[in-house]
A and B are shown apart, each in its own frame.
Chain A
Amino acid sequence: NAGVMQNPRHLVRRRGQEARLRCSPMKGHSHVYWYRQLPEEGLKFMVYLQKENIIDESGMPKERFSAEFPKEGPSILRIQQVVRGDSAAYFCASSLRQGEAAGELFFGEGSRLTVL
């Protein structure tokens, strides 16, 4: 049973380009969460999605960032016109239901974005 799969693991972009990060949740999981980790910091919540719905995007920057979780296919975190400050590790997590106890929230290995 595959875990949460994120790709690419590493992505390099020049300023002004677009970055697309993909997350395939664990099989059967319909809740997806994106977190961002700046160097030497803890993870910060960005957005919580269920299939075809954004439930909570309180942690998403208002501009240039968007996320989706379509009915078919992976969840996508999209960053337009990237800037150097977007360089970070982006983690996806998934769960079967909301409000799970520990061990039921599974993280992917992260996607590391470097903006030159």
Chain B
Amino acid sequence: AQKITQTQPGMFVQEKEAVTLDCTYDTSDPSYGLFWYKQPSSGEMIFLIYQGSYDQQNATEGRYSLNFQKARKSANLVISASQLGDSAMYFCAMRVGAGNMLTFGGGTRLMVKP
């Protein structure tokens, strides 16, 4: 069975600083993908970044980067230069094998302080 754990229910960060949101996962399947989504107060799910289990390099998308440590089974999201608009819920998710079914973590609420 797959499991995703986000241990930080809430985080504060000062505007313009970097922040790391933790995510650990557990699966016995060697082929998997890890996703991060942002959910603002309006409720939609916004895709941020993806890391495949066989990818050699950490994924980056603009101010988002994924710190993928395979041996530790962690896939932390790093947001650089935080902006007020980054305040939202952030969800880590995993897909195993060839399917598209995602298993989600419980989320971290990020609050950016001006």
Chain A 70-113 interface residues, beta-carbon cutoff 8 Å to B: 89, 91, 93, 95, 98-103, 105-110, 112
- Are A102's CB and B47's CB within 8 A? yes
Chain B contact-residue range equals 20 to 34
- Are A109's CB and B44's CB within 8 A? yes
Contacts of B103 in A (CB 8 A): 45
- Are A98's CB and B43's CB within 8 A? no
| Residues of B that sit less than 8 Å from A by CB | 4, 33, 35, 37, 42-45, 47, 49-50, 52, 91, 93, 97-107
Chain A proximity of B52: nearest CB distance (Å)? 7
- Are B91's CB and A43's CB within 8 A? yes
CA A105 to CA B37, docked complex, whole Å: 12
Choose one: A33, A41, A103, A109; the contact of B101 (CB below 8 Å): A33
Given A42-B105, A42-B106, A110-B43, CB of A105 within 8 Å of CB of B52: no
- Are A91's CB and B45's CB within 8 A? yes
- Are A102's CB and B50's CB within 8 A? yes
* Residue tally, chain A, CB below 8 Å to B: 28
| Residues of A that sit less than 8 Å from B by CB | 31, 33, 35, 40-45, 48, 56, 89, 91, 93, 95, 98-103, 105-110, 112
Query: Which residue among B35, B52, B102, B106 has the maximum number of chain A CB atoms within 10 Å of its CB?
Result: B102
